[in-house]
């Protein structure tokens, strides 16, 4: 039950005995007692960021003296660093997309938050090795799934992920050929 209901009932009973426009009288009386909610009233103080820090919206304007920015909070600094890292990744992705546009292996170059992702469709293991050398990725920086190898490094301080699609399948085919190779040679020598 609304805690204001008993007070509202008392106010209405008292006002029903009066003369004149009862509805208007009741509404004004309820509003005067703080029992009606004003949807346009702000409950609490609305603050805005100013050069002097956080100030109420309806505060008098500060004199036009030399503006000094309030020191950024730790969270604001982290957000600014994140925004900067994401923008650097977008710029590097655009540069690398132009640089590697003519390469047939490259399917996409994009920024994923603060990381640049280069996607490659590899049809020859020599091409994967060449890309690893070009981008400075060592074997210990590569992980794999069933269908893709992922090399991680950094380029100009920006994290870079290189996805080599179909590399695991090529590695399996190469391993199968190496295993089958000596056996098929030995079988050919016996014949």
> What are the structure tokens assigned to 43, written together?
């409950």
- Intervals of the chain under pLDDT 50: 185, 191
Residue 65 has what pLDDT?
59
Residue 182 has what pLDDT?
62
Q: How far apart are CA 183 and CA 36, in angstroms?
A: 92
- Nearest CA-CA partner of 122 in 186, 166, 172, 57: 166
Say how far residue 8 (Cα) sits from the centre of its chain.
50
Q: 101-125: b or e for each residue (b if 16 or more CB lie within 10 Å)?
A: eeeebbeebebeebbbbbbbebeee
Cα angle 22, 25, 26 (rounded to 5 degrees) comes to 85
Do 69 and 96 contact (CB within 8 A), yes or no? no
Q: Strand (E) positions, the chain?
A: 47-50, 53-56, 106-112, 115-121, 142-144, 148-155, 158-165
Residue 186 has what pLDDT?
53
Q: What's the whole-model pTM score?
A: 0.60
Residue 18 has what pLDDT?
67
- Nearest CA-CA partner of 160 in 169, 150, 170: 150
> What are the structure tokens assigned to 128, written together?
């994967």
What count of residues does the chain have? 191
Residue 13 has what pLDDT?
74
């Amino acid at each position: 039950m609304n805690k204001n209901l008993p007070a509202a009932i008392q106010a209405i009973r008292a006002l029903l005995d009066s003369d004149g426009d009862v509805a208007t009288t009741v509404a004004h009386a309820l509003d005067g007692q703080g029992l009606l909610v004003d949807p346009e009233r702000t409950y609490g103080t609305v603050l805005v960021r100013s050069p002097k820090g956080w100030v109420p919206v309806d505060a008098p304007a500060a004199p036009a003296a030399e503006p000094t920015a309030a020191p950024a909070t730790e969270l604001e600094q982290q957000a600014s660093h994140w925004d900067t890292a994401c923008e650097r990744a977008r710029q590097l992705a655009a540069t690398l997309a132009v640089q590697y546009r003519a390469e047939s292996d490259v399917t996409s170059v994009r920024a994923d938050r603060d990381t640049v992702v280069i996607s490659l469709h590899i049809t020859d293991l020599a091409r994967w090795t060449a890309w690893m050398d070009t981008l400075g990725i060592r074997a210990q920086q590569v992980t794999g799934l069933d269908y893709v190898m992922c090399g991680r490094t950094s380029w100009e301080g920006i994290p870079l992920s290189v996805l080599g699609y179909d590399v695991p399948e090529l590695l399996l085919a190469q391993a199968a050929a190496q295993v089958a190779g000596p056996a098929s040679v030995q079988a050919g020598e016996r014949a």
